[in-house]
Amino acid sequence: MNPKLNVVPFVSVDHMMKLVLSIGIERFLLELCAYVEDDFRRWESFDKVARVAAHSPDGVIELMPTSDGAAYGFKYVNGHPKNTRDGRQTVTAFGVMADVANGYPVLLTEMTILTALRTAATSAVAARHLAPKGARTMAIIGNGAQAEFQALAMRALIGVDRLRLYDIDRAASEKCRLNLQGFGFDIAICEGTEEAVQGAEIVTTVTADKQCATILTDNLVGAGIHINAVGGDCPGKTELQAAILRRADIFVEYPPQTRIEGEIQQLSPDHPVTELWRVIVGEAQGRTDGRQITLFDSVGFATEDFSALRYVRDKLTGTAFYEELDLLADPDDPRDLFGMLLRAAA
């Protein structure tokens, strides 16, 4: 892929879906996991800043930027839980990758679907280092737009093949079960959180309401469980009872962001946490014994979006799953932008 100077490859929603299906959903997730983990391994090469957020009573709009010195990437993303009442997505997103050497964008893409994929891939990478060895059963509390992606990433990377689903809206669980038919899961729809977590080695919480909720209570968390807390991702939005956090070993992406947005916003600012990248590179321990409770307090970080943008750009080569946008002015003389404008009328 070597576009002309004035055009930028653009991946639409339709092209993203076709790209994913042409690769295969589970293969896409596996390969994306590798990119996510590779970028965690070179964590110290990235510029890091907590995302820039504009909060309102109805939701949040955020920009998530980072750079590794060679490429720059950012994502625009919103989170508006009430949107589903109007037939809209809770989360939508698009992203850009640019060449640091000249500042020109090299990719513009939808990231609503891609964010779901990269979030699931990050969860699976964390679980590979933190979940009990040989874990096969996962409870998913909250069966909305993210649930199937989480299940498939966990299956692809660590072999989870038994799902226990619960949502306050049973129709969401039925939707999830229907969508995952044919992927080799043993699926049970449960009547409550307590039933769902029974026998689960991994518990994923992925609800959408923008509030401090108690989706998972301390009495339901037994020894040896890995908790993948995905839904709490902005100030004032949590899913876990604080007592769980005090019993668990907590792993995070970028502490300055997670302390504001994650489950650990419920704790003191100096409560100990371990950065996931340190576990991945061997600087810190992850799971150390069978009775340990591990918690991945996942809020999503810009390096994960960078990994997803990098992966998609690499996979586009030789495909037809993009179009070229006439996005950048390209006058014959770089100093004569006004002349270019005048000549357009000729």
Show the low-confidence residues of the chain (pLDDT under 70): 1-4, 210
Looking at residue 1, what is its pLDDT? Answer: 43
Contact 77, 93 (CB under 8 A): yes
Looking at residue 305, what is its pLDDT? Answer: 98
Domain boundaries, the chain: 7-113+303-343, 132-300
Amino acid at 84: T
- Residue 233 annotated in active site: yes
Q: Is the dihedral of CA 159, 165, 167, 170 positive or negative?
A: positive
Query: In sequence order, what are the residues at sequence separation of 6 or more whose Cβ sits closer than 8 angstroms to the Cβ of residue 133?
Result: 287
Looking at residue 4, what is its pLDDT? Answer: 66
Amino acid at 134: G
Looking at residue 119, what is its pLDDT? Answer: 97
Looking at residue 211, what is its pLDDT? Answer: 76
DSSP 51: P
Q: What angle do CA 186, 192, 194 make, to 5 degrees?
A: 85
Query: In sequence order, what are the residues at sequence separation of 6 or more whose Cβ sits closer than 8 angstroms to the Cβ of residue 236?
Result: 210, 211, 212
Measure the CA–CA gap between 121 and 107, rounded to whole angstroms: 21
Q: What is the pLDDT of residues 103-112, one digit of tens each?
A: 999 999 999 9
Looking at residue 2, what is its pLDDT? Answer: 42
Question: Of 39, 167, 233, 297, which residue is the catalytic one?
Answer: 233
Classified by CATH at the fold level, domain 132-300 comes out as: Rossmann fold (3.40.50)
3-state secondary structure of 216: strand
Q: What is the pLDDT of residues 125-136, one digit of tens each?
A: 999 999 999 999
The arrangement of secondary structure in 7-113+303-343, i.e. its CATH architecture, is: 2-Layer Sandwich (3.30)
Q: What is the pTM of this model?
A: 0.94
Measure the CA–CA gap between 249 and 274, rounded to whole angstroms: 8
Looking at residue 210, what is its pLDDT? Answer: 67
Please state the three-class secondary structure of the chain as a single string: CCCCCCEEEEECHHHHHHHHHHHCHHHHHHHHHHHHHHHHHCHHHCCCCCCEEEEECCEEEEEEEEECCCEEEEEEEEECHHHHHHCCCCCCEEEEEEECCCCCEEEEEECHHHHHHHHHHHHHHHHHHHCCCCCCEEEEECCCCCHHHHHHHHHHHHCCCEEEEECCCHHHHHHHHHHCCCCCCEEEECCCHHHHHCCCCEEEECCCCCCEEEEECHHHCCCCCEEEECCCCECCEEEECHHHHHHCEEEECCHHHHHHHCHHHHCCCCCCCEEHHHHHCCCCCCCCCCCCCEEEECCCCHHHHHHHHHHHHHHHCCCCCCEEEECCCCCCCCCCHHHHHHHCCC
Contact 124, 226 (CB under 8 A): no
Contact 217, 205 (CB under 8 A): no
